[in-house]
A = this chain, B = another copy of it.
Amino acid sequence: MRRRLSVAALGMSLVCGVAAVAAARGPARAAWLPVPIAGAIQPADAIRAAAPSDWREVAPDDLLIVELRDGARVAIELAPEFAPVHVANIRRFARSGWWQDAAVYRVQDDYVAQWGLNETKKPLPDGVVAAPPAEYERPLAGLRLRPLGFPDSYAPMAGHAGGWPVGYDPGRGRAWLAHCYAMVGVSRDLAPDTGSGAELYAVIGHAPRHLDRNIALVGRVIDGIGALSALPRGTGDLGFYTDRKSDVPIARVRLASEMPASERPRYEVLRSDSRAFSLYVTGRANRGGDFFRVPAGGVDLCNVTVPVRRKGV
């Protein structure tokens, strides 16, 4: 909503921001605890200040590349630590070429874009589990959680773990992925059906967090979401395209691990247990610079878009 300011004009200097923070903090604390930081910092400065070790590369087997027939590419990081059976299915769908002839067939404004074969009766590939367990949440133990530090309307606690936005309940010892923008989930019918992973959707609007713990989330679009979010909205109920000619054809879906190493796109995600990430969250909650007049002093889980960068381009 700035009219047209250069990106450079938005931030205070990098060195300045980080030095001020370090002075205010005193001795280092465990990096995955929220760090109260005096003053305002620009999120972009926090990202720029991250050390190489603050980034983790997305494993080629966790990187799903959806190519639309018009040439656009959508890169999805899979989350096997949250939905292992669904993710194993998705890898099998990809490796078997099952999604040839698939298409985006539903785009509901402020909600989701959905793709797959739209319930044709094509037999599932070998090894796919037709009725996976309800991988809607997992044990809290084993996650390196960074509490957001601000209230959440949907979960007892919210924060980040492994670069994923999560809700969690310390009382029950359970955690779950949150339906933030660009998160990818598995379409299903009524319970106990959880969906095989054949039909997937990406969130393209304000986070529909009421779906948390009701659907298996399996990953996040980390590049190219615009190829889905800018599609024409469907005019049928729930945003389904009413005419098959409106479907947006998918050329192929591959894991990066299936591609020749030289052709694989590579991405890095900012580690949510890094100090850089804590600075970033603080910056999102207290926007500084010349444009902002009043820092919010808070941020909601899904407004902390986890930083991703392309590697080697």
A interface residues (Cβ-Cβ under 8 A, vs B)? 1-7, 107, 109-110, 112, 114, 119, 134, 136, 150-154, 180-182, 185-191, 195, 199, 201, 205-215, 225-226, 229-233, 237-238, 240, 284-285, 287, 290-300, 302-303, 305
Contacts and interface: CB of A to CB of B under 8 A. Distances in A.
A214 B292 contact: yes
Nearest to A185: B1
From A152, A191, A226, A231, residue with most partner B Cβ within 10 Å: A226
Contacts of A3: 119, 187-189, 195, 199
B293 A188 contact: no
A247 to B, nearest CB: 14
8 contacts: A1-B201, A3-B189, A3-B195, A4-B240, A109-B229, A110-B229, A110-B305, A208-B303
B112 A237 contact: no
A163 to B, nearest CB: 17
Interface of A is mostly: loop
B209 A296 contact: yes
Nearest to A201: B1
Contacts of A201: 1
Contacts of A291: 190-191, 214
A210 B303 contact: yes
B233 A231 contact: no
Contacts of A297: 154
A202 to B, nearest CB: 10
A188 to B, nearest CB: 6
A59 B151 CA distance: 37
Contacts of A231: 230
Given A6-B237, A110-B225, A206-B206, A214 B294 contact: yes
A293 B119 contact: no
Contacts of A5: 189-190, 238
A107 B181 CA distance: 16
B296 A210 contact: yes
A153 B154 contact: no
Contact of A151 (B151, B187, B188, B290): B151
Contacts of A191: 290-291, 293
A211 B284 CA distance: 11
Contacts of A298: 153-154
A190 B6 CA distance: 12
Given A110-B225, A212-B296, A2 B187 contact: yes
